[in-house]
Structure 1
Amino acid sequence: MKKNFSKVGAVAATMMLAITANAKFTTESVPGEFVVKLKPGMMRMTTQALSTQLNGFVTQKISGQDIVVVKKAVFQTNDSAIKSLNENPMVEIAEPNYIYKISKTPTDPMYSQTWGLGNIGQADPKNQVGVAGVDINAEKAWEIQTGTREKIVAIIDTGIDYTHPDLAENMWVNEAEKNGQPGVDDDGNGVVDDIYGYNAITGTGNMKDDQGHGSHCAGTIGARANNGIGVAGVNWNVRMMGVKFLDAGGSGSLADAIKAIDYATKMGANVMSNSWGGGGFSQTLLDAIKRSNDAGAVFIAAAGNEYNNNDNSPTYPSTYQVDNVISVAAIDNRGAKADFSNYGKKTVHLGAPGVNVMSTTGGKYASFSGTSMATPHVAGVAALLWANEPNLTAAEIKARLVATTRPLASMKGKTRTGGMVDAYGALTNTQAPPDANDPSNWATVAMNVASESPYKSNTNQTFEVSVPGAKEFALYFDKFNVESGYDFVTIYDAAGNKVQQLTGANDESFSMTITGESARIVFTSDKSVEKTGWSIVKAAYR
């Protein structure tokens, strides 16, 4: 959900998935050609003699490197040819003649502002400098798949601006209604003129976004790429169904939420993106999500923006225990958990970019923050994976996304996977290596720095900490509970640069990495609501 939207985590049935390298993906090479490095002295032979000895045709020689290009019969498999060449006593190394291409980075003029898709350390739209590589690994995934119009993503939200030039070409279209008679329910589904989706508030087909939130989510999932304007989505080709049940103020009723989910289910949505939540447990809403599960859809939901541990205080719909639910936390462009983001070691599955995310809104573009913005990143990857492997079931899609997350220190202990969604990992069914920047893998030194517990109102305290000899270090909070959004712990490095500001609940977690061997901690509180405070028990360093 967008920050300041009302609440919205998921314990789904545990599913195991074997991780195998390069599922549904083979590296492209020139058919029948192999690059062969010969042992010293072999290049003195004539081309004809080399061809005979290598059981092929030498088409090129790379002088000074003892390398030749060998052409073999195309009916021989690569594996067989490589095996026979490497067994030849003249050969040191034999490899396929791989094909390399220009990277499929979109040319859209605002693409560099979408750090969640490609992060090279640039500043986000609010000028926070990022950490290179903290993104969903979309650019590598696009070398394999850029999406298909065979799959439908329902954005259950405030609607979609289906006339937006970056969204129009990727809208789902109900052909029966588009080609039918105006004012007539041509397809007999109970809704008149539902050409691009459904408005559950009015019961009509007019789902035009009057708030901007739903269009923002749509742009992350499927803004058209390489069209000379704006941004690009996770999917360059997709069909997005607008299902509106939230009004211009960002609010909607339980009854309309049920109608919205049921419409998406009935009309064949494969992926449902849900950046909303609130209320208490509802059996009727749970039943609607179960119906979507029975229909074979994936239901992706925002974990919420209340600084909340969803394990202890469930938020809905993301905490419903249905097999197709995936709950999403938010991270920023440095890999930190967003301070507002809900979390849960048992109930939230993974993280995704959700701070200062640039995307489409009503006829224009804007930067929003929230688990609402993280959710469509995951929905987009689900659609991309389904485009690449259309025969997967919803259960297999969820299992793949969960099994192939990229480890991230800020998500460790805060989500079930301890990582963030990884598009390339999902498409290749491979798991990324451990996070090299995870302080839990570094050396540690004991530390004892803490606030009063409970702390006093109007606190303004400064603490100095140091780890002599460290090049960088991180502080470990075993306890952290201050009033969300009003009381803050701010960490500065020795040069006075702000490293991180913490608020809310952050037990058992490391701070962001601090450069150097010393830091200053400033704790401030307002005049009301004193909580139990915080304590630092160790520092990790390298």
Structure 2
Amino acid sequence: DYTHPDLAEHIWVNQNEISNDDIDNDNNGYVDDVYGWDFYNDDASVCHYIYDRKTNLNLSLPEDNDNHGTHIAGVIAAVADNGLGVAGIASNIDIKLMILKINGGSEGTGSISDAILAIKYATKMGAEICNISWGTTRYSPALKETIKESDMLFVAAAGNLGSDNDNKPVYPASFKLDNLISVTFIDANGRLTKLSNYGKSSVEIAAPGTDIMSTVVGSYQTLSGSSMAAPHVSALASLLYSYDSNLYPSAIKNIIIETLKPITGLKDAILYPGIPNAYNALLEVGKIRLDITPPIIKLETAYDKGDIIVPIQVEDEGGSGVRVIRWLSGIREITDFNRGTTGLAVENDQINVSKAGTYTIYASDYAGNESIQIHEIEDDKVPPSITFSYNISEDYKTRTVNIRVVDRQSGIRRVKYLPGNKKESDFLPVGSGTEIKFENDRGRFNVEKDGIYTLYAIDNRGNHIAKPIDIRTVLSEDIKFTQSDMSMIVGDRYDLRAFVKPANTTDVIIYTSSNDRVALINNKGRIVALSEGTATVTARTNNGIKVICRIVVKRTP
């Protein structure tokens, strides 16, 4: 009830919206959202009244009751020292209550999808704490992700069925998240009631929740349940947040837990058996390390076949942790991302795009620090490079072409060849050309005849090249050694070079030794003197031309 005299002073007002002009003045997607939004009715009504003639008051409309949310609001922030009703726990700070209604109708029902929209609205509009005094047994990955990606602290009621949340979870209270704290309720004697949900691993703390007097629409009322316990914790969190604007959810949660007042009777019922101790928590808040440093975004460009990939590395040196990474095409401002609620999600620490251009990457931490980086992606416009060599078999029947194709950006998609002098377009029809198998940038193929052949390569971004090569058999005409006799000592090594004319011959030189036990020669012409004696080394081309060198091996010089 935003008109309630004990609440009106602390109701949040959207200063960028003009009331009742039917225009979305701040372009946030909601028209006339001055006090928040009613997601149940999809309008800006937020509270629904019926005039009561007996009391002369606007009370809650039975068909769409808003007493529950108004009661929670009073526990947190009912105005103090005004001579009216009650005083909220956090009433003495500059606190504002954003009204986001997701449950409605006479039964107070709602949907998870509306809850997700409400959380995104609150995140976008800068709220710091989200009190969730509702629950469902339905698990929703989308709800969990939305909470995880928000920089708000979530305080969630554990439920009022007297059941074990470890066995039958209540969401969102049972989500295990650093920015969410789950709360059950106790009576005035510090004991769980028969309706208090519990859970040794799933319910974290307790708070007062029995016979709590607070505001309702147009009046006051006593209510009980975990819905009343949660705002006690939300109010304490508000007091802690008022210390500094650069605090963050996990730090606030840790302080609340570390300064709990122990309740022995809760030891076997909840994870942290105690209730909040506001005094001790406020004494500790000054010890929190503030996070004032925006996340650092590091980008590069890579390729995966036809896709352009931008690997993204985000570091948060301030300590609150990276909460969300988003991206949009074009040059954007931080405000375009609406505190991380707008933009495309980054999956597996990278984004995949189909074309070059300008993209903006956004990151935010849980302290609300934001950063963007504009990344210019230049497409791969350079075709692959092709180098080749060839050799002709000793019997002249086979020509082996060895090729190396390199593309340092998007990578090679396909390599082919065709006989004759061809153009790139000759390789484009499906099935044209003979494909060459490749490994580590290298491949080979065999042909039987001399002539012109064209090599073709295309990379994963469609850049291609056609390179004609001339395969010619060039017979050797002469072969010589630099010397016809030489002496060696056992253990010596020597490279005996054979010079062949013409220099561009394709003939192969074959080296042999008449006595491998005296002098051994490999196919590169390297001689190893093994034992005393004489051997004749022969170099012969595959068309029959040869030259010899006499080798004398001695034991000592």
Which of the five TM-score ranges fits, normalised by the shorter chain?
A: 0.3 to 0.5
Task: Identify the structure with the greater helix proportion.
Answer: 1
Rg comparison, structure with higher value: 2
Question: What is the TM-score when the length of structure 2 is the normalising length?
Answer: 0.47
Task: Identify the structure with the greater strand proportion.
Answer: 2
